[in-house]
Homo-oligomer: A and B are copies of this chain.
Amino acid sequence: MNADIQTIQDGDIASVPGVSASGVSCGLKTSGLDLGIIHSRVPANAAAVFTQNQIKGAHVPHCATKIAAGRAQTIVVNSRNANACNGPLGPEHAEAMAKAAADALTVDSSLVYPCSTGTIGIVLPIEKVCVGIVAASAALRSGGGTDFANAIMTTDTRPKSCAVTTQIDGKAITVGGVAKGAGMIEPNMATMLAYVATDADVASQDLEILLHDVVAESFNAISVDGDQSCNDTVMLLANGESGLALARDAQSDSSWAAFASAVKQVCVTLAKMIVLDGEGATKLAKIHVVDAASAVDARLAARAVANSLLVKTSWFGEDPNWGRVIDVVGYSGAELDASEIEIWYDDVCAYRGASGPVPDSVTALEAVIRQPEFTVKIRLGTGDAECSLLTCDISEEYVRINSEYTT
């Protein structure tokens, strides 16, 4: 964390000047908020990253087409229903959501981004949604960030918001964000949605490069490209209300870097919130694979460990069961040198391929795994590539939640 970046207590996306938000209930969920809007007083420059799943929810191609112009003003999101795999009705309903918000807010429809999250393959009750959009438009306010964060939740057990402020070139700028998603496990099919806004003035091309860099270190560090839900979407909006213009190449390195750090801090904070809302998760673990033959090998090994139920349940039991880790690495498909492999929990070496288990390490390993956060480092001994992933432990609660969240 950068010391020059201040966290805003109870901050959220609507902490950003010029940004308002709301959440209403339109009858998609049995109870609770299920439709939200984020709205910028003025049109903003924008960038987005979408799921790489081959099956895509209807809003994904809709929004991908719009974002090519690099502008956005309004984001409208429903939960409980993914509007995915619904045939020709899917695109029609995404279009209808955008039009309803554009009409209610007198915004150009090309600046409205509809998103959906929830169950796949159920036709969206579009009339209810449109009634909700009218209500949510009327409810927009600068204090509405928490309502929005609640409205987009599905299997989440808690809303996820944060905001920071920092001084750049003598001016204060704010970055705020909101996310939904839970269950860091393959498949992370709990759709991940994240929206980040700032009042800095940044061109959409620069936002796009920044967003890709930041997503790689935050949201994509808790999942893996191929493991995305049909609907995953991350958007970054810059409405310029601070009057501070920033550009990747025009400024001194420090100004742009300070801005990028603030955006990254918001995204990493949201990503950790998603991991720790892993439906009963109690521990955050970083899997760090080093000395791999290639980036692909490093990722194969890291992903296999991060997704291993037996490894994750052992953490829940506070058992430093490195044997399960090495077993997973062995079948991961990653090239390894059995005589060079090493397993570490934080700075405690558990196993060296040449000599076997490290004598008298058990007590130290147990101390590591009792912590709420720790790193599992795996050395493959076949090169110099590496990969990191954040993941969590797995509790009985996870299974209960996911077997009860039915269509």
**Which positions in A face B, CB cutoff 8 Å?**
52-56, 82, 84-90, 119-123, 183, 185-187, 189-190, 226-230, 304, 307-310, 313-314, 316-317, 319-324, 326-333, 336, 338, 341, 350-351, 354-357, 362, 394-396, 398-400, 402-407
- In the complex, chain B residues whose CB is within 8 Å of the CB of A123: 357
Q: How far is the CB of A285 from chain B (nearest CB, A)?
A: 14
A351 to B121, Cβ gap below 8 A? yes
Query: What are 21 A-B residue pairs whose CB atoms fall within 8 Å in the complex?
Result: A53-B330, A54-B330, A54-B338, A85-B351, A88-B356, A122-B357, A123-B357, A186-B308, A186-B309, A187-B309, A189-B308, A189-B310, A189-B327, A189-B328, A313-B403, A316-B403, A319-B406, A321-B406, A321-B407, A396-B400, A398-B399
Report if A331-B396 is in contact (Cβ < 8 Å); known contacts: A87-B356, A121-B356, A407-B321. Answer: no
Contact of A329 among B55, B56, B350 (CB under 8 A): B55
- In the complex, chain B residues whose CB is within 8 Å of the CB of A189: 308, 310, 324, 327-328
Contact of A227 among B190, B331, B356, B362 (CB under 8 A): B331
Residue among A54, A119, A317 facing the most chain B CB atoms (10 A cut-off): A54
A230 to B327, Cβ gap below 8 A? yes
Copies per complex of this chain: 2
The CA-CA distance from A319 to B406 in the complex, in Å, is 6
**Closest B residue to A322 using CB positions:** B121
Q: How far is the CB of A111 from chain B (nearest CB, A)?
A: 28
- In the complex, chain B residues whose CB is within 8 Å of the CB of A331: 52-54, 187, 226-229
- What would 16 more interface pairs be, CB under 8 Å, given A84-B327, A313-B399, A319-B403? A53-B327, A55-B327, A55-B341, A85-B357, A119-B321, A187-B327, A226-B332, A226-B333, A228-B331, A229-B331, A309-B309, A309-B399, A309-B402, A313-B403, A396-B396, A396-B399
